[in-house]
Chains A and B, each alone.
Chain A
Amino acid sequence: MSDLKRGISRRRVIKTGMAGILATGVSPLIISKGAWAQEFCNNPEVTGKAVFGFNVPLTGPYTEEGLDSLNGYQLAVKHINGEGDGGILKTLKPLALEGNGVLGKKIEFVTGDTQTNTDVARDGARRMIERDGAVVVTGSVTSGEAIAQQALCQEMGVIYMSGLTHSNDTTGKDKRRYGFRHFFNAYQSGVAIAPFLAAEYGNERRAYHLTADYTWGWTQEESIKNATEALGWETVNAVRTPLGAGDYSQFLTPVLNSGADVLILNHYGLDMVNSLPQAVQFGLRDRQVNGKQFEIVVPMFSELMAVGAGEAVRGIIGTSNWQWGLEDEGTKAFTTSYGSEYGVPPSQAAHTSYVQAILYADAVQRAGTFYPPEVIRALEGFEFDGAGNGPTLYRDADHQCFKEVLVVRGNENPTSNFDVLNVIGQTSREEVIYDPSIFGGELGPYEPNQC
C-alpha cells in the first residue's frame, strides 16, 4: 500500500509544508527579492527598523567639519524619507530611491561624537552597531577615525561609508570590503595641484613641509612631495607637528632661516586655522627668499577652514572635493536645499556626508535588500552623475570614488562671509585615476561576520 493511501495525501503534505514555512517565519525572505538574505548584523527585517549611525567629531580640532557633516546626514535622511525638497534626489542619475524611505522603511538615525579621536570613534561605531542596531555606520573627519571604523565594521559585517578622509591609506593599504569613500585623496590632490603650482610659482622652488603627525598628514606629505619634486622643486625639510598643537611658533621659527621659499601646510581643520594665520603673522608672505616671493600652500582646503583662517587665506592655493559655487544642477539643488535648511551654504564636509548617505540608501534600494554583500555589489563599479562632482565612478577595486578634483584659491576680494574660495581649476576624473595596486591592501571577503 502506498503512503498516500495510508492517510498522507499530497494535499496534506503541501499544507503541512506551508504551515511549517509560515511558522518558522521564513516566508518574508522567500517572498521578497533577495531570498539569500540570511541572518546578518542588525537586519532591518528582523529588528523592524533601519537605523543609520552618524559618527562624527562634535568636539576636538575638527569639530566644525563634524557639525557640518552631521547637518548633511540629517538632511539626507529627510530627503530619503520623502521630506523637504528632495535635494539631489532630483538630479542624481541613476536613482532607485522613491522618496518613501528605503525598501519601504523610514530611516532612523543615531549620532555619536568621535571627539576627533580614533579610539573614541571606534568605540562609538561599536556602540551604534551593538546597542543602537545601526545597519550602516558613516562619518569621519580624520583618516584615523575612518580607517579604525571601517576595520571594525568589516569585523562586524556592517557597511561603513566614510566621511572626510583624505589619506591614501583609507582606500589603499587599509582598504576594506565594507568601507567606501566618496571623498578624494592626497594622491589626487597632488596630481591636481601640481600644474597650478608650476604655473604660479615656477619649477625652481625649495619647499618646507609642516605635517600633521598621523596617517593623513603622512600620506599627503608624501603625495605632495612626489608631485612637487616631479616639477623640479626641492624639499628642504618635512617636520611633523602634533595633531591639535595650537601654538605653531616653535615650528615656524625654523622655517624663517631654512632657505625655503615655499611653506606647505599639511594641516586640516583647526590645525590649519591656527597654523596658517600664525605663519602669516610671522611675516612669511612678506619675505623674499632666493630672489623669490615666499609662498604658502595648503594642499587640502575647505570653506570652513577658509572662514576660520580669515584674511590669512587670501591668495592661498589648495584643492577641494567640492564647492557650493559650482554651476552643475546637483550642486545647485544641494546648495538650495541645505541653505534653506540651515541658513548657510554647505561645506564639502556636509556635501560628501550627504552624498554618502544617499548613495548607501540608493544601493540598498537597487539591491532590494539590506544584506551587506548585495549592497556592496550594488556600490562596486557604480557610475552616477548629478551629485555635484560630475560623472563619478565608485571603483570596485578599492572602493574609491573617481571624479573631478577642484583646485581653489582663497578669494582676494570676498563679497560676503560665504565668498571665501574661488575655483581656479577642475582636474578631470581621467587625470586623477591611478592604478589601485600602487597603494596595496586587500579588500577582504564579502560574506559578513555576525555582530
Chain B
Amino acid sequence: MNVFLTQLLNGLDKGGAYALIALGLTLVFGTLGVVNFAHGALFMLGCFCAVAFRYLLTIETVTIDPEQLSPWGAPLEVKTPVIQAWLGDFGAVLVDYSVPISILLAVPLMLLIGIAMERGLIKHFYKRTHAEQILVTFGLAIVLAEIVKTFFGPNPIPQPIPTALRGAADVGSWLGFAPHAITYPWWRLIYLMFSGVVIAGVFAFLQFTTYGMVVRAGMADREAVSILGINIDRRFTVVFGLAAVVAGVAGVMYTPLLAPNYMLGMDFLVLSFVVVVVGGMGSLGGAVAAGFLLGILQSFASMNEVRAIFPGIDQVIIYLVAVVILLVRPRGLMGRRGVMEG
C-alpha cells in the first residue's frame, strides 16, 4: 500500500506539470486553432523569470576583510547581497523565497510576451495550414531558446527551494500509517497543489465569468459570436496571453525541481503535445485528465517490479499510450468528434 501511494503521489506531481503545460497548449488550439510549437518555450521563459529575479535579488557588493585571509594568502573578499545589506533579515528572506516571489514578475511579463507573440506573429498564420503554423512556431521556439542562451548561457542554473520547505512531509502519518512510512518532499506537494489551484482558476475563469463565457462561445462558433458584435479576436489574444501566463508560472515553480536551461522548452514541448493528443486536441478537460493520467502511468512504470518485466518501459510508456490512442481513438480521450480525425 505504501508503495502504491508513494508512486501515486509521484505520478500526480509529474502529472500536475504535464497538465499545466498541456492546458495552455490546448487552450490556444481550442480558441485560435493554432498548433503552437512555441508553447514549450513559454514554459522555459517562465523558468528564466525565476532565474532573472534571483539574479536581481542576489546582486552583491564585494568588500575586503583585511582581518581574514583566503587559503592562498590574499585578503578575503566578503560578498553580501545588496538587498540583504539594505533590508537586513527581510532581504535574506526575499532571497530565500525568490522562486515563489518571482511569480509576481512572471505573471505580467508572460502576459505581455504572450500578447506580443500573438499580435506580432501568430495572428498572421490563423488561416494557414497546421503544417505552416507548426513550422513558424517551431522557428519561434528556436529563436526564443537562442535569445535565452545568449543572456543566460547554455548551462542549467539551479534554483533553491526555500529553506523551510526543503524537507519531506510525513504524508503517511496524515493518512493513519506509521510515522515516516510515506514521506514526500514538501516542494513537490506544493507544486501539486499549485497545479490544482491554477487549473481550477483557469476553469473557473472560463466557466464562471462573462469573459470566459464569451471565449467558450467563440471556441464553439467564432463567426456567430463575431456577428453579435463582439470583438472575439481581442478576447482570443487575451486567452493567448493567459496561456502564456499558465505556462510561465508552471515554469517558475518547476525550477527547484529541474535546473532550467535554454533547451528545457523543447523537452517539455514533446511531452505536452503527447498529453494534448491523448487528451484530445482542444479539450481542456482532456488535457488535464491526460496530464495526470500519463504522469501516474509513468510513475508506476518506473517501479522496479514493472521495470524487471519490461526494462526501460518508464522511458517510453507515455509514447506507447499515445500510439495506442492515435490508433484506436484519433480524436483523443475527450476530444471533439472530427478534430484531428480527418
Closest to A311 in B: B166
**Alpha-carbon separation in the docked complex, A257 to B183 (Å):** 10
User: Are A335 and B72 in contact, CB atoms less than 8 angstroms apart?
Assistant: yes
| CB of B185 closer than 8 Å to a CB of A | yes
A32 → chain B closest CB, angstroms: 40
Q: A270-B156, A283-B168, A335-B71 are in contact. Are A250 and B298 (CB under 8 A)?
A: yes
A-B contact pairs, 10 of them (CB 8 A): A247-B258, A249-B10, A250-B298, A257-B2, A257-B6, A274-B158, A280-B166, A281-B186, A288-B180, A339-B73
**Chain B residues near A253 (CB-CB < 8 A):** 6-7, 9-10, 299, 302
**Chain B residues near A60 (CB-CB < 8 A):** 155
**Chain B residues near A338 (CB-CB < 8 A):** 72
| CB of A254 closer than 8 Å to a CB of B | yes
User: Are B303 and A254 in contact, CB atoms less than 8 angstroms apart?
Assistant: yes
| CB of A308 closer than 8 Å to a CB of B | yes
User: Are B185 and A339 in contact, CB atoms less than 8 angstroms apart?
Assistant: no
| CB of B140 closer than 8 Å to a CB of A | no
Closest to A334 in B: B72
Closest to A250 in B: B302
| CB of B160 closer than 8 Å to a CB of A | yes
* B-contact bits for A321-337, CB 8 A (1 contact / 0 none): 00011000000000111
* B-contact bits for A283-312, CB 8 A (1 contact / 0 none): 100111000000000000000000010110
**Alpha-carbon separation in the docked complex, A349 to B326 (Å):** 49
**Chain B residues near A270 (CB-CB < 8 A):** 156, 259
Which residues of B160-204 are within 8 A (CB) of A? 160-161, 166-168, 170, 180, 182-188
**Alpha-carbon separation in the docked complex, A281 to B162 (Å):** 12
**Chain A residues near B2 (CB-CB < 8 A):** 256-257
User: Are B6 and A256 in contact, CB atoms less than 8 angstroms apart?
Assistant: yes
| CB of B13 closer than 8 Å to a CB of A | yes
Q: A254-B303, A256-B183, A343-B77 are in contact. Are A249 and B72 (CB under 8 A)?
A: no
Q: A283-B183, A286-B168, A310-B160 are in contact. Are A325 and B71 (CB under 8 A)?
A: yes
Given contacts A250-B298, A281-B166, A324-B71, 19 further A-B contacts (CB under 8 A): A59-B155, A63-B154, A237-B304, A247-B258, A249-B10, A250-B10, A253-B7, A253-B299, A256-B6, A256-B183, A257-B6, A270-B156, A274-B259, A280-B166, A281-B168, A281-B186, A286-B180, A339-B72, A345-B72
**Alpha-carbon separation in the docked complex, A256 to B154 (Å):** 34
Q: How extensive is the interface on chain A, given as a class?
A: 35 or more
**Alpha-carbon separation in the docked complex, A416 to B72 (Å):** 14
**Chain A residues near B156 (CB-CB < 8 A):** 61, 246, 270
**Chain A residues near B71 (CB-CB < 8 A):** 324-325, 335, 339, 345, 418
Q: A249-B10, A254-B303, A283-B168 are in contact. Are A340 and B154 (CB under 8 A)?
A: no
**Alpha-carbon separation in the docked complex, A86 to B180 (Å):** 56
Q: A253-B6, A274-B259 are in contact. Are A281 and B158 (CB under 8 A)?
A: no
Among B72, B170, B180, which residue has its beta carbon within 8 angstroms of that of A336? B72
| CB of A282 closer than 8 Å to a CB of B | yes
A434 → chain B closest CB, angstroms: 32
Among B3, B184, B298, which residue has its beta carbon within 8 angstroms of that of A282? B184
* B-contact bits for A381-422, CB 8 A (1 contact / 0 none): 000000000000000000000000000000000001010000
Q: How extensive is the interface on chain B, given as a class?
A: 35 or more
| CB of A450 closer than 8 Å to a CB of B | no
* B-contact bits for A225-248, CB 8 A (1 contact / 0 none): 000000000000101001000110
| CB of A36 closer than 8 Å to a CB of B | no
| CB of B74 closer than 8 Å to a CB of A | yes
| CB of A258 closer than 8 Å to a CB of B | yes
**Chain A residues near B180 (CB-CB < 8 A):** 283, 286-288
A271 → chain B closest CB, angstroms: 11
| CB of B70 closer than 8 Å to a CB of A | yes
User: Are A254 and B13 in contact, CB atoms less than 8 angstroms apart?
Assistant: no
| CB of A273 closer than 8 Å to a CB of B | yes
| CB of B14 closer than 8 Å to a CB of A | yes
| CB of B257 closer than 8 Å to a CB of A | yes
Among B7, B76, B187, B259, which residue has its beta carbon within 8 angstroms of that of A281? B187
**Chain A residues near B161 (CB-CB < 8 A):** 281
* A-contact bits for B47-76, CB 8 A (1 contact / 0 none): 000000000000000000000001111101
Closest to A288 in B: B180
**Alpha-carbon separation in the docked complex, A118 to B185 (Å):** 35
Closest to B72 in A: A339
User: Are B302 and A251 in contact, CB atoms less than 8 angstroms apart?
Assistant: yes
| CB of B314 closer than 8 Å to a CB of A | yes
User: Are B155 and A249 in contact, CB atoms less than 8 angstroms apart?
Assistant: no
User: Are A257 and B3 in contact, CB atoms less than 8 angstroms apart?
Assistant: yes
A344 → chain B closest CB, angstroms: 9
**Chain B residues near A247 (CB-CB < 8 A):** 257-258
Q: A254-B303, A283-B183 are in contact. Are A273 and B158 (CB under 8 A)?
A: yes
Closest to B295 in A: A250
B252 → chain A closest CB, angstroms: 16
**Alpha-carbon separation in the docked complex, A274 to B304 (Å):** 21
